[in-house]
Amino acid sequence: MDLLPPELEREIFVIAASAGNTTIPPLLRVAKRVKVWLEPLLYRRVLVQSQPSSRRYFLSNGDVMISTAALAAAMERLPAGFLNTHARHLYLEVWAYSNSIQDRSRMFAALTGVTDLMLLNMGNFDEAPLLLAEISRLPLRRLQAHLGALFRPAPPGVVDFSHPLFRNITHLCARDDFQPDWTTGLALLPCLTHLSFLDYGFDPDPLLVELF
pLDDT level of residue 64 (50, 70, 90 thresholds): low
pLDDT of residue 138: 96
pLDDT for 120 beyond 50: yes
pLDDT of residue 72: 84
pLDDT of residue 166: 97
| Dist CA 194 CA 105 (whole Å) | 29
pLDDT of residue 4: 82
- Rounded to a whole number of angstroms, the distance between the first and last alpha carbons of the chain is 60
The secondary structure of residue 166, as a DSSP letter, is G
CB atoms within 10 A of CB 66: 24
Task: Read off the amino acid at residue 23.
Answer: T
| Dist CA 24 CA 172 (whole Å) | 31
